[in-house]
Amino acid sequence: KIIDLGQLLRHHGKSRHNKAYQEKRGKIPIPNKIHDRPREADNRVEIGHWEGDTVLGKSGKACVVTLVDRKSRYLLIGKAAKRTSEAVTDTVSDLMKLWPGRSLTITPDRGKEFAKVQCLTDKFGTPCYFPDPHSPWQRGTNENTNGLLREYLPKGTDLDSITDRRI
């Protein structure tokens, strides 16, 4: 008889999803796709077109929200206490207030933490354009900047203990 030793362990081994598994928790409605974004944003002609993402910490609770301007590569960084859509949207809103009237578009990640970022369109009049699934190269400026940021906030850093001033 074949015995699965993993089932005899205290935690029954690591559970894994099969390849056909699709997460069914909350789908984000995508009103604007990146292909509808203005040409000025794609060609980096003018300042004010932002790419957004989050950088996670050790615990996965607190995160750093980054917005990078596509033309100037100017970086806005803020800390969100939780990786919830409300906390991330509030942080993005606070970052946008630093440059009033200069936000023409935002292209965030497709993560669930950006599920409510569409309300920024109502608040600031800034449309949000979402990339295709599993296509990080469509927001390459932000992905590269987050890689550079990891030099100062390496993986495993506890972001809960880092002050806003240090960020």
Q: What is the mean pLDDT of the chain?
A: 86
* R_g over Cα of the chain: 19
At 163 the pLDDT is: 84
Residue type, 161: S
Within a 10 A sphere around the Cβ of 151, how many other Cβ atoms?
A: 7
Average pLDDT score over residue span 98-104: 85
pTM: 0.80
Q: Is 107 helix (H, G, I), strand (E, B) or coil?
A: strand
- With 80 as the cut, is the pLDDT of residue 1 above it? no
- Residue ranges of E strands in 32-152: 49-56, 63-69, 75-80, 105-107
pLDDT in tens, 131-162: 998 899 999 999 999 999 999 888 888 888 88
- Rounded alpha-carbon distances, angstroms, from residue 159 to 41, 58, 83, 106, 119: 32, 7, 12, 25, 26
Q: Which residue has the tokens 């999803």?
A: 17
What domains lie within the chain, and their CATH numbers?
31-161 (3.30.420.10)
